[in-house]
Structure 1
Amino acid sequence: MLSRSFFAFAALSLSAVAPAYGQAADDLASKIINDPSAPSVNGAKASLHDDPAAQGGKALRVQVPKKGANVWDSAVETAIPKPIKAGDQLVLMVSARLEKGEGGATATTIPYVAVQLASEPYSSLLQQSVDIGPEWKDFQIRGTADRDYPANSVKVTVHLATAKQTVDVGPIVLLDLGPKK
Structure 2
Amino acid sequence: KLRKSLQNSIKQIHKDLGLTCIFVTHDQDEAMVMSDTIHLFHEGRIEQSSDPITMYTSPVSQFAAAFIGNYNILSREQFAAVTEKKIASENGIAIRPETIQIVTDPSEETDYTFDGVIIDNTPKGNVLQYNINVNGVKMKVDVLFRSKVLFENGQKLRLSVADHNCIRI
TM range (shorter): under 0.3
TM-score computed with the length of structure 2 as normaliser: 0.28
Structure holding more strand per residue: 1
TM-score computed with the length of structure 1 as normaliser: 0.27
- Radius of gyration: which is bigger? 2
Structure holding more helix per residue: 2
Higher RCO structure (Cα 8 Å, ≥6 apart):
1
